[in-house]
A and B are shown apart, each in its own frame.
Chain A
Amino acid sequence: MGKYIAKRLLSSLAVMAIVSLVAFAALELIPGNAALVAAGTEGGSSSVASLAAEFGLDRGFGERLMLYYRNILSFDFGTSSYFGESVATLIGQRLGVTFSLAFFSILIAFLFSVVLGTAAALCRNKLIDAFSRTVVQLFSSIPSFWLSLLFLIVFSSMLHVVDVGDYVPPAVSISGYLSSIVLPVIVLAISETGPLLRLVRASMMRVRNEDWYRMGKVRGIPGIRLATAYALRYALPGPLTLAGSELAKLLGGTAIVESIFALPGIGRLFLTAVEMRDIPLVGGIVIFVSFLVVLMNLLTDIALFLSNPSMRKAGGMKL
């Protein structure tokens, strides 16, 4: 077991190293000089030079790469040239919003997919199956930014159910918090349901052909019990892995929804960073999100490994 986790950890570290290297190369390629941006219109050439020295722009390529890795390892992502604050602080302030959006939308999408996907695959009811196929196709085709606009029109402007524009932290008021994130959470949940539902249905279809499942039916075990006690345990690892990696993905992929619903999250921060050519901030967010993605995938893999006796015996999934 220790061997599997060690192997998995090592490969995560390798991925992290590659991703950070690619991010460094990408940042080197972004045109525009961070020192010039930070100095602003009033900065003279001396302030530009001192800022350049601060950012390490006056050093050679190899030296900058070393500095970059030393900073990452000490969790120092530098200072944003646009906001003038430390990148880590900026990300920290906005993490809660994005995490709430990602977590609740994946939770809703996952529960919905498991219920509908299981019913579609195991009930042998053509209507339910056709419905779930329609949901998969429709939900994966709706542009999330368009859906957000429709939600704004219907719920905010026509029905006046939800106020948009003020994010309320849960510490201030729980109901205010929920009503400020409910619309974006539903939009994100809808676009996440497509792939999840498809996968749940496909894994459940495989269950139908298993000998133990047919045996259970023959023995007269009620369908609900068969589904919840046996089929789910067998079919869920795939969808759970997907949900884990989608959750990690969403932590960096909510930019559009955040900007439409005016929520102060990481995605909107990233949009601002790109727009303002704030290179330290762009780099910091990219590294941070890839760290979350790798960590999330590592955790789901280890959790699956621990929960599956046959995998534990075989020494883990093939890497």
Chain B
Amino acid sequence: MRKYRFSFIAGLLLVAFAFAIAFTSLVFTPYDPEAMDIHNRFQGPSSAHLLGTDHFGRDILSRIMSGSLVALSGALLSVMIGSLAGIVLGIVSALSPKWIGSLLQRVIDALMAFPTILIALVLVAITGKGLLPSALAVALAMVPVFSRLVYTMMLETKEKLYVKAAMSYGCGWLRMVIFHMIPPMASRLVTQFTSSIGSAILLESSLSFLGLGIQPPSSSLGMMLSEARSYVLTYPYQALPSGIVLLMIVLGFNLLGDGISDVFAGRRRIRHV
């Protein structure tokens, strides 16, 4: 039981840290994240620049702080859109006539079997580069997993006795879905939502790394790494700070999702006893 609590607490701490640096960047960063200082480029860590400076002499710490805000808000937005669309799609395919439902799920299966980066690239090719298009591409990649989850859980709950009882009392379908079918799914959805944020940040930063996400001079963690890539052989340090922070944020959400699912599982076990 102790190790479960460990992943929950470690995840919570990392996520709290991510939100802390991201929101601090709104009111305070050590330097202007976009201010260049050509004389002091490629500096290592020092008391003036805690994490050093990049190829334009911009303060890396300040850029990481504002980049985390971009990563977090972009990922939250994408997962919210994607999960909402997925949940609606899952409910619709579970409640509609069987052949429509299974056809919809076939399409979802096909989407799921497809490389996410390929889908995102095609979408960015259609809409153009930028923060919003890449967030939409990530959202689209999040739809299948939610829809599949809701669909299978809905098929299970539909057969439950209390649902049939509510139906025989004349409960409307909207009321049925909102009050009888969604609550038992909530724990699984919260877990999925949390770990999806981790994968959304990964995908978004991959798109930024390819130069398809948010455009310069704004900073995002993926873009910082893409810039560091050009100097990776001469100034290897450039690739370290933003990569480590990115890893910490993604790890935080994954651990938190895992921890939450363990907490819910533990509670269920206790209730059954």
A interface residues (Cβ-Cβ under 8 A, vs B): 11, 14-15, 18-19, 26, 29-31, 126, 130, 133, 137-138, 140-146, 149-150, 152-153, 156-158, 245, 248-250, 252-253, 255-256, 259-260, 270-271, 274, 277, 282, 286, 289-290, 293-294, 297
Given contacts A149-B239, A286-B122, contact A15 B117 (CB under 8 A): no
Q: A152, B251: Cβ atoms under 8 Å?
A: no
Partner of B117, one of A11, A256, A290: A256
Known: A252-B118, A256-B206, A282-B122. A19 touches B110 (CB 8 A): yes
Q: Which chain A residue has the least Cβ–Cβ distance from B14?
A: A141
A293 adjacent to B121 (CB under 8 Å): no
Are A149 and B205 closer than 8 Å at their CB atoms? no
Complex Cα distance, B114 from A297, in Å, reads 11
Q: Which residue of A lies closest to B226 (CB)?
A: A145
B35 CB within 8 Å of chain A: no
Contact A248 to B117, CB < 8 A, known contacts A137-B258, A150-B239: no
Contact flags (1/0) for B217-252 with A, using CB distance below 8 Å? 000001001001100110010010001001100110
Q: Given A144, A149, A245, A289, which contacts B232 in the complex, CB threshold below 8 Å?
A: A149
Q: Which of A15, A157, A282 is within 8 Å of B109, CB to CB?
A: A15
Count of inter-chain pairs, beta carbons less than 8 A: 126
Chain A residue with the shortest CB-CB distance to B208: A145
**Which residues of A sit under 8 angstroms from B233, Cβ to Cβ?**
152-153, 156-157
A-B contact pairs, 7 of them (CB 8 A): A30-B125, A142-B250, A146-B246, A149-B228, A149-B232, A152-B232, A252-B114
Q: A133-B3, A150-B243 are in contact. List 13 more A-B contacts (CB 8 A).
A: A26-B126, A30-B126, A143-B243, A145-B205, A145-B206, A158-B236, A250-B115, A252-B118, A253-B115, A253-B117, A271-B210, A274-B122, A289-B118
* B93: interface (CB < 8 Å): no
Interface size for B (C-beta < 8 A) is 41
Q: Does B161 contact A (CB under 8 A)?
A: no
In the complex, the answer to whether A293 meets B251 with C-beta atoms within 8 Å is no
- Find out whether the CB atom of B122 lies under 8 angstroms from the CB atom of A293: no
Interface hits, B69-118 → A, CB 8 Å: 106-107, 109-110, 113-118
B-to-A contact residues, CB < 8 Å: 3, 7, 106-107, 109-110, 113-118, 121-126, 128, 198, 202, 205-206, 209-210, 222, 225, 228-229, 232-233, 236, 239, 243, 246-247, 250-251, 254-255, 258
B48 to chain A, nearest CB (A): 25
Taken together as a complex, chains A and B put the C-alpha atoms of A253 and B116 apart, in Å, by: 7
Q: How far is the CA of A245 from the CA of B122 in the complex (A)?
A: 21
With CB as the reference atom, state the residue of chain A lying closest to B236. Answer: A153
Q: How far, in whole Å, are A274 and B124 apart by their CA atoms in the complex?
A: 9
- In the assembled complex, which residues on chain A have CB atoms less than 8 Å from the CB atom of B117? 253, 255-256
Known A-B contacts A29-B126, A256-B117; the reply to A143 vs B250 at CB < 8 A is yes
If the complex has contacts A133-B3, A274-B125, are A286 and B118 also in contact, measured as CB distance less than 8 A?
A: yes
CB distance from A204 to the nearest CB of B (A): 18
Q: Nearest chain-A residue to B255 (Cβ)?
A: A137
Q: Which of B114, B116, B128, B209 contacts A293 (CB 8 A)?
A: B114
Contacts A141-B198, A145-B225, A260-B229; A248 near B239 (Cβ below 8 A): no
Choose among B7, B106, B229, B232 the residue that contacts A18 (Cβ–Cβ < 8 A): B106
* B211 nearest CB neighbor, chain A only: A275
Within 8 Å CB of B109, what residues of A? Answer: 15
Asked whether B115 lies within 8 Å of A145 as measured between CB atoms, the reply is: no
Asked whether B113 lies within 8 Å of A157 as measured between CB atoms, the reply is no
* Residue numbers in A under 8 Å from B3 (CB-CB): 126, 130, 133
Given A145-B206, A153-B232, A250-B115: A137 touches B243 (CB 8 Å cut-off)? no
Residues of chain B contacted by A256 (CB below 8 angstroms): 117, 206, 209-210
Contact A277 B125 (CB under 8 A): yes
**Known contacts A26-B126, A149-B239, A256-B210; is A293 also within 8 Å of B113 by CB?**
yes
With A30-B126, A149-B228, A260-B229 as contacts: A141 and B121 at CB distance below 8 Å: no
Q: Which residue of A lies closest to B3 (CB)?
A: A130
B115 to A, closest residue via Cβ: A253
Q: In the assembled complex, how far is the CB of residue B184 from the closest CB belonging to chain A, in whole angstroms?
A: 22
Residues of chain A lying within 8 A (CB to CB) of residue B205: 143, 145
What's the Cα separation between A55 and B206 when bound, in Å?
A: 33
Bound complex: CA of A138 vs CA of B123, how far in Å? 29
Q: Which residue of B lies closest to A260 (CB)?
A: B229
Could you tell me the distance between the alpha carbons of A252 and B117 in the complex, rounded to whole angstroms?
8
Report the minimum CB–CB distance from A19 to chain B (whole Å). 5
Assuming the A-B contacts A143-B202, A157-B236, are A31 and B118 also in contact, with contact meaning beta carbons closer than 8 angstroms in the complex? no
Report the separation of the CA atoms of residues A259 and B229 in the bound assembly, to the nearest whole angstrom.
11
- CB of A11, distance to nearest CB on chain B (Å): 7
Known pairs A30-B126, A143-B206, A274-B125; A253 contacts B254 (CB<8 A): no
B251 lies within 8 A of A137 (CB): yes
* A245 & B113 in contact (Cβ 8 Å cutoff): yes
Residue contact B126 to A274, C-beta cutoff 8 Å: no
Give, as a whole number of angstroms, the nearest-CB distance from B152 to chain A. Answer: 12
* A217 and B139 alpha carbons, distance in the complex (Å): 48
A143 to B71, CA, bound (A): 13
Whether the pair A290, B121 counts as a contact (CB closer than 8 A) is no
How distant is the Cα of A11 from the Cα of B114 in the complex, in angstroms? 16
Write out the residue numbers on chain A whose beta carbons fall within 8 Å of the beta carbon of B125.
Answer: 30, 274, 277, 282
In the complex, residue of chain B having the shortest beta-carbon distance to the beta carbon of A15:
B110
For residue A271, which residues in chain B have a CB less than 8 angstroms away from its CB?
121, 210
